[in-house]
Amino acid sequence: MNNYKKSRIRESLMHRVELTQENFAFFQIAPNDLLQETILPSYDFHILRPGVVCQECYSFNTYVEAQTTFCESCGGIEDAEETIKRHSEEFLLLFPEVPLTTARIYQWCDGSFSKQRIYRVLRKNYLKVGKTKAVQYQ
Helix (H) or strand (E) holding 117: helix 115-125
Helix (H) or strand (E) holding 14: helix 3-16
94 with 105: CB under 8 angstroms?
no
Per-residue pLDDT of the chain (138 residues; tens, 9 = 90+): 677 777 777 777 777 776 544 554 555 555 555 455 555 667 788 888 899 999 998 889 999 999 999 999 999 999 999 999 999 999 998 888 999 999 999 999 999 999 999 999 999 999 988 887 778 888
Radius of gyration of the chain measured on its C-alpha atoms: 16
Predicted TM-score (pTM) of the model is 0.79
CA angle 23/17/27 to nearest 5° reads 55
d(C-alpha 99, C-alpha 45), whole Å: 13
